[in-house]
Structure 1
Amino acid sequence: MKRNQFARGRRRRAVALASAPLVAASLLSGCGAQSGPPTLTWYILPDNGGSVARAEQCAEASNGAYQVRIESLPSTATAQREQMVRRLAAGDSSIDLVSMDVVFTAEFANAGFLRPYTAEETSRLTAGMLPAPIETGMWEDTLYGAPYKSNAQLLWYRKSAAAAAGVDPASPTFTWDEMLKAAVGQQKKIAVQAQRYEGYTVLINALVLSGGGALLEDVEAGRDAKPSLNTPPGLKAAEIVGTLGRSPAAPTDMSNASEEQARANFQSDQGMFMVNWPYVLAAARSAAEEGTLPQEVVDDIGWARYPRVSPDMPSAPPLGGANLGIGAYTEYPEEAVALVECINAEPKATQYMLDESEPSPYAASYDNPEIRETYENADLIRESIGDGGPRPPTPFYTDISGAIQQTWHPPASVTSETPERTDQFMADVLAGRRLL
């Protein structure tokens, strides 16, 4: 069996995290004097220590130009946003660098919370990256978020169950309708993220985009953008969600399922299909190595591109990831840019993918021999990110997502009337006539 990079990286990074306060303290040493090097504070998204390691390496490589202090953000995207908005709205100059979910780049940039990257910096910092992640960091044709990591969901399936149903999930034209029919026929389950949270919006957005539609028309119009779910693509998305939610293929916990609940269901005896991020394969291998998951389950896992809504239209795999923004009120903008360039270099992004199971935004990472050994689906991940469907790049995304979550939940309640109801509710929320 191949050496499990996920387990190895997780153990190594767990040690790094355990000593994180000591790491931060060592980076701060010697900065008490006013004439000493500046200390850059980087607000990171929680991980197993990969960000701490990158910060430590870059502080050392700077040859005394700067030190780095790490501050960890909360574990959920909503809590991360709340904390950063409060601090940045108050003009907090201690925020030199911040890792942020891709959906918040437009909001933070529009509010003046982020320092824009210059054209020269943009060219330098994004060289070699896939176009789709770069777009998530843009606002009004200017880069505000340098892609730190990227992501795209795949279709996961149990090979034995698919064979028994006589279907090929890896077929280029495999659809949600075929998947539902096969799962019902085998008395198995389809695991999705349908808790009332951002992951559910990710699912709905992907279905609408894959059907040729969009959640909003005229996104650039801001609050005057037109909700567009009451269209053929939106109606088809509602049909898929509602039919699955009311079918025997829906897991009992579907309306409360996040990524990990979906993974647990998929790995159980009732699992057959799942849409989820690439980390799940490494996580399954780690569980088998630790003895908490039978190896035969891991051997039975197959993967394919995100399923189509229509057989004649390519799917738009959900696009995720995180971007690096420089705080608008930082006292050290030049040093902050230098830190971004260091921690975001391609070799570090590739190593982060090995250690944290978080895909790299760089195209070349997927040709790295270690990546190809660890990820047999490296080409599929790269392709899915490249063709990934983003969520609307709008400063009002939180309102958009909240309106969808409120009107499409629980999944079993979704009918052909839901898209029209959502459009009206979303328009009212954007106009300030109603509150979430």
Structure 2
Amino acid sequence: MRKWLWAALLCGVLALVVVSCGGDDDDDGGGGGDAKKAPAVDANAKGDVNWCIGKDTSGAYGTAIDLFKKENPKITVKLVELPTSADEQRAQLVQRLRAKSDECDVLGMDVVWTAEFAAQGWLQDTTDIIDPRKSDFIASTLETASYEDKYWAVPYHTNAGFIYYRKDEVPKLPSSWEDLYAEAGKGNGIVYQGFRYEGLTVNFLELLYSGGGKVLSDDGKAVEVDSPEAEAALAFMADGIKQGDAPKAVTTYMEEESRRAFESGNATFMRNWPYAYSLGKESKIANDFDVGTFPSFKGGDPASVLGGINLAISAYSKNPDAAAAFIDYATGEAVEKANFLESASPPASAAVYDDPQVQKKYAFASDLKAAVEQGQSRPVSPVYSQISEAIYNNVHDALQGKAEPKDAVKQMSDDIQKALETF
């Protein structure tokens, strides 16, 4: 694989991971515009559309605009690039929306922003855009665009984690996390994203969800994380470090530290995102590893946690008809396939993973589709960033031995309750 694809994989797919870091905790509860219903897709739409989204490091967004222009010459889409950092993207969008600016028609949003932006009245209801095409999307991706029984965005790019394993050290991927850690202890261990940041929230939720636990009630108004399931998940992670199944250094690892440790031969297993696959195939262990979907924990169903980007229409857009037409096309199969082939941006569209060209280029396409299908959303709340901080801070304390898992879960619950009370 040529080196340009390395860059595309790292800047494109990893961006979908890093973009889900939440944002700052500022939330003055200031109201946005009144909730509006976005128009259904109109073939006669015309005019100008501004698409505000993070920097186009992979070229995917430019490709989407070019393909759309060929089919829709009456609509001109301008790309308004925001910073690379997810926090800075969110800050700039929030600034515009609080000012009721009409600069942005289409908003490129991290999947965890949906509830916050919808609750503030900053988005138009996109249910009429999604409903005619609902079966096109992998069902789990639609959950990331939903808040209070309505759709406020349309899934564009998605992402879900893999287990990487050394097939020269273990014959097959264990079917449970418990067996996987046991094998890790016999070999060179497991590495994952254990640093104090969003990645650790995701790693914890993957175990919590599989074990039957929850963070919030279904309506998002009550804290349910102080549970035997959460304590079991956290104790399992902490014991893994104590027993040497995972190295103590894992509490300093993000995605790249994990990848480098695995490629250096210092781990039998690795939890990471799909971007690491092609990079690994250019490393010294290129022929010695494979990937698979997550195993189960405590006998539950395997669970992954989704990242990605959704497209929404600003409540202050002056051309929602053209914005709806662009979103409908950009989230369709033609753009999704082109983006996946050219920049390794995983599609929310189910059919793309089964495309012969995609299957030929990406050996992991079927595994990635399965990982997305088993994916779940992070806690849906307007104060998600504060909830995530409560999770990763307390999980990290337990992993470092600064708090017992039971006490850490109790403190996590208290911190999340305080977060809910701020909105």
Which of 273, 285, 299 is the equivalent residue of 2:287? 299
Residue 81 of structure 2 aligns with which residue? Answer: 72
What are the superposed Cα offsets for residues 197-223 of structure 1, whole Å, 9 maximum, x if unpaired?
2111111111110100111124343xx
Gaps of 5+ in 1: 15-35
CA distance in 2, matches of 1:229, 1:8: 39
Q: Tell me, yes or no, if the aligned pair for 2:294 and 2:303 is still in contact at 8 Å.
A: yes
How is 1:59-138 mapped onto 2 (pairs within 5 angstroms)?
59-63=69-73, 65-119=74-128, 121-138=129-146
Q: Tell me, yes or no, if the aligned pair for 1:146 and 1:324 is still in contact at 8 Å.
A: yes
Residues 141 and 374 of structure 1, relative CA distance in 2, 3 Å threshold:
same
Which of 392, 404, 417 is the equivalent residue of 1:415? 404
Shift, 1:344, TM fit:
1.7
CA distance in 2, matches of 1:201, 1:352: 28
Residues 217 and 305 of structure 1, relative CA distance in 2, 3 Å threshold:
same
CA distance in 1, matches of 2:6, 2:416: 45
Partner-residue secondary structure (3-state), 1:160: coil
Partner-residue secondary structure (3-state), 1:255: helix
Residue 278 of structure 1 aligns with which residue? Answer: 274
Residue 330 of structure 1 aligns with which residue? Answer: 317
1:248 aligns with 2:235: no
CA distance in 1, matches of 2:422, 2:8: 45
Residues 260 and 8 of structure 1, relative CA distance in 2, 3 Å threshold:
closer
What are the superposed Cα offsets for residues 176-209 of structure 1, whole Å, 9 maximum, x if unpaired?
22222222222x1312112222111111111110
Shift, 1:415, TM fit:
2.5
CA distance in 2, matches of 1:217, 1:256: 31
Q: Tell me, yes or no, if the aligned pair for 1:5 and 1:374 is still in contact at 8 Å.
A: no
Structure 1 counterpart of 2:206, which letter?
Answer: A
Structure 2 counterpart of 1:150, which letter?
Answer: T
Structure 1 counterpart of 2:191, which letter?
Answer: A
CA distance in 1, matches of 2:279, 2:134: 29
Structure 1 counterpart of 2:130, which letter?
Answer: T
Q: Tell me, yes or no, if the aligned pair for 1:45 and 1:75 is still in contact at 8 Å.
A: yes
Residue 400 of structure 1 aligns with which residue? Answer: 387
Residue 429 of structure 1 aligns with which residue? Answer: 419
Shift, 1:118, TM fit:
4.3
Which of 362, 380, 383 is the equivalent residue of 2:367? 380
What is the count of residue pairs matched by the alignment? Answer: 386
Shift, 1:240, TM fit:
1.9
CA distance in 2, matches of 1:44, 1:61: 24
CA distance in 2, matches of 1:45, 1:124: 30
Shift, 1:127, TM fit:
4.3
Structure 2 counterpart of 1:343, which letter?
Answer: A
Structure 1 counterpart of 2:404, which letter?
Answer: T
Supply the RMSD in Å over aligned alpha carbons: 2.5
Residues 357 and 238 of structure 1, relative CA distance in 2, 3 Å threshold:
same
1:238 aligns with 2:234: yes
Structure 1 counterpart of 2:161, which letter?
Answer: Q
Q: Which has the larger radius of gyration?
A: 1
Structure 2 counterpart of 1:161, which letter?
Answer: E
- Report the identity percentage: 27
1:348 aligns with 2:335: yes
1:216 aligns with 2:216: yes
Structure ranking higher in helix proportion:
1
**What's the TM-score once normalised by structure 1's chain length?**
0.82
**What's the TM-score once normalised by structure 2's chain length?**
0.84
Residue 202 of structure 2 aligns with which residue? Answer: 202
